[in-house]
Amino acid sequence: MAKNITPRKENYSQWYLDVISAGKLADYAPVKGCMVIRPSGFAIWEAMQARLDRMFKETGHVNAYFPLLIPKHFMEKEAEHVEGFSPECAVVTHGGGKELEEPLMIRPTSETVIGHMYSQWIQSYRDLPVLINQWCNVLRWEMRTRLFLRTSEFLWQEGHTAHETEEEAQEETMRMLEIYRRFQEEDLAIPVIPGLKTESEKFPGAIATYCIEAMMQDGKALQAGTSHNLGQNFAKAFDITFLDRKNEQSHAWTTSWGVSTRMIGGLIMTHGDDDGLIIPPRIAPVQVVIIPIFTNDSERAETKAFAESIAERLHSRLDRLKVVIDHRDDLRPAEKFFHWLQQGIPVRIEVGPRDVAKQCGMVARRDVREKESVELESITAHVCDLLEKIQENLFQRALEFREQNTRRAKNYEEFCEIMKKEGGFVMAHWNGSPEVEAKIKGDTKATIRCIPLDPDPVPGKCMVTGEPSEREVVFAVAY
């Protein structure tokens, strides 16, 4: 067991911070609530970006860049939006040595300034749809911060689209939710529940917010991505109108959707163990590390040469495995194992003089800590297969954990009991009112994470009021 990491059972919050520190993933910045993403953490973000960016482009989206600073009066054009975001804004009051005539907000999100630009770019139905994404930093002032999960500044992508019809906007909203679901489950190996947010949890200014919710290893929920149908709210606030097919002026229908560096926090808390980070192979910046083991110069030469020959085989694959050889001479093998263990690299191959003699590599997997000797001839196929297995195992393990920690409550008393003793997700019926939702939160800290998109829901009765309920919703304490 790693001495530099507090076990999860002892203190889950401290475990999380220790894993980040041991993996050199991020640090707090000198400005309160801001973070520095260190190279090991940023490489994970780059891998996430690369995959998502491809998925966005394959569905017809293009990237652009909108400004960091937003005039204060822009924020005020959409009533719910200003109410939701103004308290969280950082405000620039001086620039170039002078006080500004109008304060500028650092973007907490960009619906307003993008709405303003779209009103200039969109004239006719021929200009629609507009399907733009941007990768950028945003800032939302936070008092209680936690690296990756909740920091004042974070990195994200925000998609902003404008459509001719209500139906197209809804289709886009669901398309992007599905892309997020696929990315989380297929690439990050994190099972998620897609669903609709309640009125009190929806994005300020949206008519509907959809989300994907994941369960962390302490049973708490993490919102891992959101997709908003903004209806015509922002089109009306920013005058995004177009000449429609009937030659009449219409307001466009818009959407927005985003995921952020928070996903790195979700990755750590879903897969990590008491020895540190575990990165699923599909998103790992390094998938395989090869470690030559030697005690003298001649062994050094032969193990390194053999390591190179293994790396060459792995590189030759069409899908180009990401392989690194740890060539450092000033560390002992145990120190190197420990380093890569805490970096969460899925597969390690040890190569000592005896392995060279046998023309084998000792292949170890990070997720279940087994290792076996594999012959050079079959090592490429073996490692490729192993990476697939690890990816699948991480997903199944997380899915089983979620299933074991998802309960049903017969009545409100039982609900409160579960929330108090066990946590996790609780599926329960609710009458649809914000008052009951607030009461439950007050009593138990649990919120409705989402109303699942089950096409065939089972009706029942609200656990608090006994009123009829169309479907169960997911309750949990959330990050």
Choose which of 1, 97, 247, 370 interacts with a second copy (CB under 8 A). Answer: 97
Burial of residue 375, with CB atoms counted within 10 A of its CB: 0-12 exposed, 13-18 middle, 19 or more buried? exposed
Does 211 bind a second copy (CB under 8 A)? Our answer is no
- What 3-state DSSP class applies to 291? strand
Least distance between a second copy and beta carbon 53 (Å): 9
Q: What is d(CA 293, CA 332) in angstroms, rounded to the nearest whole number?
A: 8
- For a second copy (CB under 8 A), the number of binding residues is 57
Q: What is d(CA 355, CA 306) in angstroms, rounded to the nearest whole number?
A: 9
Q: At what angle do helices 262-271 and 39-58 cross, to 10 degrees?
A: 110
Q: Segment near a second copy (CB under 8 A), from 30-38, 192-200, 317-325, 356-364?
A: 30-38
Does 83 bind a second copy (CB under 8 A)? Our answer is no
Q: Segment near a second copy (CB under 8 A), from 11-19, 98-106, 400-408, 450-458?
A: 98-106
- CB burial string 171-204: b at 16+ within 10 A, e below: ebbbbbbebbbebbbebbbbbbbbbbbbeebbbb
Does 410 bind a second copy (CB under 8 A)? Our answer is no
Q: Segment near a second copy (CB under 8 A), from 27-35, 184-192, 251-259, 381-389?
A: 27-35
Site string for a second copy, 126-155 (x = CB under 8 A): x-----x---xx-x-xxx--------xx-x
Six token digits for residue 141: 């002032």
The smaller minimum CB distance to a second copy, of residues 92 and 416, is found at 92
Least distance between a second copy and beta carbon 39 (Å): 4
| Segment (H or E) for 104 | strand 98-106
* DSSP secondary structure letters along 317-336: STT---EEE---SSS-HHHH
Choose which of 65, 249, 297, 442 interacts with a second copy (CB under 8 A). Answer: 65
The smaller minimum CB distance to a second copy, of residues 1 and 143, is found at 143
Does 69 bind a second copy (CB under 8 A)? Our answer is yes
Choose which of 17, 55, 92, 427 interacts with a second copy (CB under 8 A). Answer: 92
Choose which of 12, 38, 186, 453 interacts with a second copy (CB under 8 A). Answer: 38
Least distance between a second copy and beta carbon 349 (Å): 23
**Which residue carries 């108090």 as its tokens?**
420
- What 3-state DSSP class applies to 316? coil
The smaller minimum CB distance to a second copy, of residues 48 and 383, is found at 48
Residue 131 and residue 168 in contact, taking contact as beta carbons nearer than 8 Å: no
| Segment (H or E) for 384 | helix 376-404
Residue 351 and residue 333 in contact, taking contact as beta carbons nearer than 8 Å: no
Does 60 bind a second copy (CB under 8 A)? Our answer is no
Give the dihedral sign, CA 387/392/393/394. positive
Q: Segment near a second copy (CB under 8 A), from 87-95, 172-180, 382-390, 469-477?
A: 87-95
The smaller minimum CB distance to a second copy, of residues 65 and 410, is found at 65
User: Hey, which residues between 290 and 349 contact a second copy (CB under 8 A)?
Assistant: 330
Does 81 bind a second copy (CB under 8 A)? Our answer is no
The smaller minimum CB distance to a second copy, of residues 137 and 373, is found at 137
Residue 305 and residue 342 in contact, taking contact as beta carbons nearer than 8 Å: no
Does 31 bind a second copy (CB under 8 A)? Our answer is yes
Q: Segment near a second copy (CB under 8 A), from 94-102, 171-179, 242-250, 445-453?
A: 94-102
The smaller minimum CB distance to a second copy, of residues 116 and 449, is found at 116
Q: What is d(CA 192, CA 474) in angstroms, rounded to the nearest whole number?
A: 12
Q: Segment near a second copy (CB under 8 A), from 82-90, 286-294, 308-316, 469-477?
A: 82-90
Q: Segment near a second copy (CB under 8 A), from 25-33, 77-85, 411-419, 439-447?
A: 25-33
Choose which of 13, 14, 39, 413 interacts with a second copy (CB under 8 A). Answer: 39
Q: What is d(CA 241, CA 249) in angstroms, rounded to the nearest whole number?
A: 6
Does 156 bind a second copy (CB under 8 A)? Our answer is no
Q: What is d(CA 238, CA 74) in angstroms, rounded to the nearest whole number?
A: 9
Does 34 bind a second copy (CB under 8 A)? Our answer is yes
Around Cβ 312, how many Cβ atoms within 10 Å?
A: 11
The smaller minimum CB distance to a second copy, of residues 133 and 303, is found at 133
Six token digits for residue 329: 């001479």
Q: Which of 393, 473, 466 is nearest to 425 (CA)?
A: 473
Q: What is d(CA 295, CA 286) in angstroms, rounded to the nearest whole number?
A: 26
Choose which of 42, 210, 294, 337 interacts with a second copy (CB under 8 A). Answer: 42
| Segment (H or E) for 373 | strand 371-375
The smaller minimum CB distance to a second copy, of residues 134 and 241, is found at 134
Q: Which of 152, 153, 210 is nearest to 180 (CA)?
A: 210
* DSSP secondary structure letters along 221-257: EEEEEEEEE-TTHHHHHHT-EEE-TTS-EEE-EEEEE
Choose which of 12, 66, 401, 479 interacts with a second copy (CB under 8 A). Answer: 66
**Residue ranges in contact with a second copy by CB under 8 A:** 27, 29-31, 34-39, 41-43, 45-46, 62-71, 74, 86-97, 103-104, 106, 113, 116-117, 120, 126, 132, 136-137, 139, 141-143, 152-153, 155, 330
